[in-house]
Amino acid sequence: VSRNVADTRRRLLEVGQLEVYLHGFQGAALDRILTRAGVTKGAFFHHFPSKTEFGYRIVEEVVAEKIAAQWVRPLQGDADPLETIAVEFERGAAGLRRRRPILGCPLNNLAQEMNPLDDGFRVRTLAVFENWRRSYEGALGRAQARGVVRPGLDLGDVAHALVAQIEGILSLARNSQRPEDLTIGARGLRRSLESLRVD
């Protein structure tokens, strides 16, 4: 048994995120997490004071990173954001299709379940969503300045709509468990993105 501190903590967070992704936060059983992570209850409660705080750390340290890696960092350069967003969606969709069941967006799933019940989750997931939305707004603004995106758009609204559309598509795919709904959704997202481009 490893006694490496950071390892145990990290393993718990990653196994926990997967459990929550699969069963929801309330449905996630600590016992299952512990078995899967090969960690005992004592170790868990040494690192985290409660299941709820553990959930907060999952948002802050695991889910936030996943969102940043998929939706924020690819837009940091000056590549065409409209194309980048579409490509990243398709890359993500390909990942989702690869395993059953289709699980959708870990951030949205968790937020849907817990935000109306618990403010701690609400403020943490909201920070991640805002980071995402602002990164879209910023990238679209820079592209607008370069003459790629049409002028005269409220980019805050546009960024919100894109995030909404992406989350909506992933929701419907999770609901239907049909891979083709990801493909249909990708086409719809591209249409929305292209409608923003200067002709």
Asked if residue 36 lies in contact with residue 15, where contact means CB atoms within 8 angstroms, the answer is: yes
Q: Which does 28 bind (CB under 5 to 8 A by kind): DNA, a second copy, none?
A: DNA
Contact partner at residue 126 from DNA, a second copy, none, CB < 5 to 8 Å by partner kind: a second copy
29 or 79: CB nearest a second copy? 29
If contact means CB under 5 to 8 A according to the sort of partner, which of DNA, a second copy, none does residue 69 touch? Answer: none
Closer residue to DNA (CB): 37 or 62: 37
The C-alpha atoms of residue 180 and residue 60 are separated, in whole angstroms, by: 32
Nearer to DNA, 11 or 133 (CB): 11
177: left (phi over 0), alpha (psi -120 to 50) or beta: left
Q: Are 149 and 80 in contact (CB under 8 A)?
A: no
Q: Which is nearer to a second copy, 11 or 111 (CB)?
A: 111
Contacting residues for 30 by C-beta, under 8 A, at least 6 apart: 41, 44, 51
Per CB under 7 A, residues contacting DNA are 1-5, 7-9, 28-32, 39-43, 45-47, 49-52, 54
Residue 19's binding partner among a second copy, DNA, none (Cβ under 5 to 8 angstroms by kind) is none
Q: Which residues are CB-neighbours of 170 under 8 A, at least 6 positions away?
A: 96, 104, 105, 108, 185
The type of residue at 81 is: P
Instruction: Choose between 28 and 72: whose C-beta lies nearer to DNA.
Output: 28
| Contacts of 121 by beta carbon, 8 Å cutoff, 6+ apart | 25, 55, 56, 59, 110, 111, 114, 115
Binding residues for a second copy, rule: CB under 8 A, are 22-24, 26-27, 101-104, 108-109, 111-113, 115-117, 122, 125-126, 129, 154, 156-158, 160-161, 163-169, 171-172, 174-177, 181, 184-185, 187-188, 191-192, 195
